[in-house]
Amino acid sequence: MLALRKFVQAVVLLFSDEYLRAPIAEDTARLLAIGEQRGFPGMLLSVDCMHWVWKNYPKAWHGAYTDHMCKPSIVLEAVASFDLWIWHAFFGMLGSLNDINILHRSNIFSRLTDGTAPTVSYKVNGNMYDMGYYIGDGIYPEWATIVKPILAPRGNKSVHFYTMQAAVWKDVECAFGVLQSRFAIIREPARVWDQSTVHNIMTACVIMHNMIIEDEKGSTDVEEVYDYMGEKATVHQDLDQAILQYIEVTEAIRNRALHHQLRDDLVEHLWSLHGAQ
């Protein structure tokens, strides 16, 4: 156990900056280009949460950590790309919290609110947008930065969007599955007592997962070119411009009307691409 604690501490200390980094401008451009190729202009990543059962939890915390499956657990919120790279890992929330509660506590949009995220602009169905979005499941709120599925879709367009959105959202689910298959320590219930070690174990596994993803890619010297790259999405980063006010950006992120407009535009865009088929 002492060796395990020291190992995960070292992995987190030495490699967090490189393998848990947020997407820079070049990464964002590549993610946007791939999202556009898949039929979702402006899409960055997919988001979801995973519960890790905690076997040897302090009994006094039973109520706080008991999840919807009546088991004590700790939650990992993550966003992943098509290649299963995990770009954001927010771990340590109580198992009794759901995805919405964790979203309000996480720092997933912190770079957007403080003005340090690369600025994104893209066009869908004739309308311009200035914030990228994540693909989420039905539990997430109706925010401008999250595209949810249409519940009980009616008509060919809505059904087609529902199918395409679910296929893209599976990126993060696949990342969770690969993460657990690679590391048995997080596939089985956690057996350590202290929270710091549990946190370091999960973080170290995410870091090593990204290391493996990078290694399997091979050399990155080859220039990647995608169809329609830059046709609808552009990225630029100007750190000298005035930082947007926190409240204004937060309100823009949580804009329900913009959420519905974006989703409707994506429905029409996807139908224009594949409706004839």
- pLDDT value at residue 219: 47
Whether 242 has a pLDDT exceeding 50, the answer reads: no
- pLDDT value at residue 247: 72
Give the DSSP letter of residue 240.
Answer: T
Distance (Å, rounded) from C-alpha 4 to C-alpha 182? 17
Q: What is the pLDDT of residues 104-162, one digit of tens each?
A: 999 898 888 887 888 888 889 889 998 889 999 989 999 999 999 988 888 888 999 99
- pLDDT value at residue 175: 94
- pLDDT value at residue 19: 93
Distance (Å, rounded) from C-alpha 108 to C-alpha 129? 19
Which residues of 95-207 form beta strands (DSSP E)? 119-124, 127-129, 133-135, 146-147
Please, which pLDDT band fits residue 4 given cuts at 50, 70 and 90? very high
Residue with tokens 């969770």: 176
Stated pTM of the model? 0.83
Strands 43-53 and 133-135: parallel
Give the DSSP letter of residue 243.
Answer: P
User: Domain of 193?
Assistant: 2-274
Distance (Å, rounded) from C-alpha 246 to C-alpha 266? 28
Please, which pLDDT band fits residue 218 given cuts at 50, 70 and 90? low
State percent of the chain over pLDDT 70: 89
Q: Which of 90-94, 142-146, 226-230, 246-250 bottoms out in mean pLDDT, i.e. has the lowest?
A: 226-230
Q: Which of 41-55, 76-90, 172-186, 253-267 bottoms out in mean pLDDT, i.e. has the lowest?
A: 253-267
> Considering its fold, how many domains does the chain have in total?
1
Number of helices (H), then strands (E), in the chain: 10, 8
Q: What is the pLDDT of residues 227-238, one digit of tens each?
A: 444 444 444 444
Average pLDDT, the chain: 86
